[in-house]
């Protein structure tokens, strides 16, 4: 089975500061990893995903994440926070097998940006 742990249900940073949202996963096979963002009253939107190849993945809105197999981590970062980044962020691990489409999500991290 696969699982995801997001460390910190709430993260607060100042505008312009570094954003770091932590995600660790458990998987017995090479995982596919995703970060989604959820703005109030909106659906989940894909920020970025790792499947194979380059371990540093760049996404939308200046976010990036690095897959570290040795640490079973896929932390999300952004060099400079903007007020519009305030939202709920979910890390997810993809299916184990081709044809099995379940995404397993972490519990989410609510990001607050202080002016």
Partner 1 sequence: GAGVSQTPSNKVTEKGKYVELRCDPISGHTALYWYRQSLGQGPEFLIYFQGTGAADDSGLPNDRFFAVRPEGSVSTLKIQRTERGDSAVYLCASSSAGGASTDTQYFGPGTRLTVL
* Member of 46, 55, 58, 61 binding partner 1 (CB under 8 A): 46
**Nearest approach, Cβ of 113 to partner 1 (angstroms)?**
21
21 Cβ neighbours under 8 A, 6+ residues apart: 6, 8, 11, 35, 75, 76, 77, 89, 91, 109, 111
* Segment lying near partner 1 (by CB under 8 A), choices 14-22, 56-64, 69-77, 99-107: 99-107
Q: CA 45, CA 7: separation in Å to the nearest integer?
A: 21
Q: Per-residue x/- marks for partner 1, 5-44, CB under 8 A?
A: ----x----------------------x---x----xxxx
Site for partner 1 in 70-89 (CB under 8 A): none
CB neighbours of 94 closer than 8 A, spacing ≥ 6? Answer: 31, 32, 33, 34, 49, 51, 103
Q: Is 104 in the site for partner 1 (CB under 8 A)?
A: yes
């Amino acid at each position: 089975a696969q699982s995801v742990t997001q460390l910190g249900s709430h993260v607060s940073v100042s505008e312009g500061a570094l954003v770091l949202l932590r995600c660790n996963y458990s998987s017995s096979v090479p995982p596919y990893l995703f970060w989604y963002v959820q703005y109030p009253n909106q659906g989940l939107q894909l920020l970025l995903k790792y499947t194979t190849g380059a371990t540093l993945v760049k996404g939308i809105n200046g976010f990036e994440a690095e897959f570290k197999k040795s640490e079973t981590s896929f932390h999300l970062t952004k060099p400079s926070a903007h007020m519009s980044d305030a939202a709920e962020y979910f890390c997810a691990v993809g299916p184990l097998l081709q044809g099995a489409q379940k995404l397993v999500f972490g519990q989410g991290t609510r990001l607050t940006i202080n002016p």
